[in-house]
Amino acid sequence: MGRQPGSARRAAETESTKTPRPPLAGEPLALDLVNTTFIHGGLRGSLVDALATPADLDLWLAEHAEAFPREPARRASAPAAASRLEEFRRLREALRELSRACVAEEPYDEQAVAVVNRAARLAVSWPEFGERTEDGPVVRWAEPDPHRVLLGTVAVSGVELLAGPGRHDVRACAAPGCILYFVRTHRRREWCTPGCGNRVRVARHHRQRRS
Ligand SMILES: [Zn+2]
């Protein structure tokens, strides 16, 4: 990095000590996982991985607790093991490939499908009678490890989205330098976030003024 005035350098340092969060959330879980790799800082920005450490995974799971079944989400509040992080990253890679193929209207890659299908089985659950009838049905999971149940839940979200009718609404953000995916919830949505829309409009404006 070149020399910067003191205040700018301090700002950059504060920035670098804290990994930026993904600019988009609230998509189906599968896309929110895919979108944990993103470009920060526009066209000349840098690639950020918001799932680089087990602590990053803990944070991401906590941020999405509402979207997960309550019991395994509660038990998964214990720190994640490095091996679990690896499994989430592998699922993310497979889901990114399938999202890309979905948007490009290409056949899905068999290996990526196999990774997602295998993970989806971890979400298997069924209702049982609990100890007291008044408590109502108790949900049990075949998989004892809560982190793997959550992994399965993300995979199921991916299967439902990318194999279901919603796949026709999956979009890759068209802004240059953006790698995020989203579900087009209304017909005029072209960008992942208003930030990307603004960048594109500003660039278009500059191009027009030059020509
Ligand atoms: Zn975007």
103 Cα–ligand 1 center, Å: 15
Q: What is the pLDDT of residue 17?
A: 54
**CA gap 84, 151 in Å, rounded:** 9
Distance 102 CA to ligand 1 centre (A): 17
Q: Please indicate, yes or no, if residue 195 is contained in any of the structural domains.
A: yes
- For residue 108, how far is its CA from the centre of ligand 1 (angstroms)? 23
41 lies in a domain? yes
User: How many C-beta atoms surround the C-beta of residue 203 within 10 A?
Assistant: 14
Pick 17 or 105 by higher pLDDT.
Answer: 105
- At 129-151, the pLDDT tens digits run 989 989 899 999 999 999 999 99
Q: Which helix (H) or strand (E) holds 181?
A: strand 181-183
Domain contains 102: yes
Q: Give residue 173 CA to ligand 1 midpoint distance, Å.
A: 5
In a domain, 56, yes or no: yes
Taking all residues of the chain, what is their mean pLDDT, rounded to a whole number? Answer: 90
Higher pLDDT, 112 or 40: 112
Residue 126 to residue 73: CA distance in whole angstroms: 17
Number of domains in the chain: 1
CATH number at 167 reads 1.10.3300.10
**Cα of 181 from ligand 1 centre, angstroms:** 8
**At 85, is the secondary structure helix, strand, or coil?**
helix
Q: Is 14 contained in some domain?
A: no
* Confidence at residue 138, expressed as pLDDT on a 0 to 100 scale: 92
Closest to 84 (Cα-Cα) out of 35, 152, 131, 27: 152
Ligand 1 midpoint to CA 34 (Å)? 13
Distance 133 CA to ligand 1 centre (A): 50
Q: Does residue 15 lie within any of the structural domains?
A: no
What is the CA(194)–ligand 1 centre distance, in A? 8
The answer to whether position 39 is within a domain reads yes
**Residue 28 CA to ligand 1 centre (angstroms):** 16
Taking phi over 0 as left and psi of -120 to 50 as alpha, with beta for the rest, 92 belongs to: alpha
**What type of residue sits at position 171?**
R
Tell me, what amino acid is at 29?
L
Maximum Cα interatomic distance, the chain, rounded to a whole number of Å: 75
Range of the domain at 188: 24-120+146-210
Higher-scoring residue by pLDDT: 16, 24: 24
CA of 196 to the centre of ligand 1 (A): 5
Does residue 11 surpass a pLDDT of 70? Answer: no
Distance (Å) from CA 52 to ligand 1 centroid: 21
Would you state the pLDDT for residue 52? 96
Residue 110 is assigned to a structural domain of this protein = yes
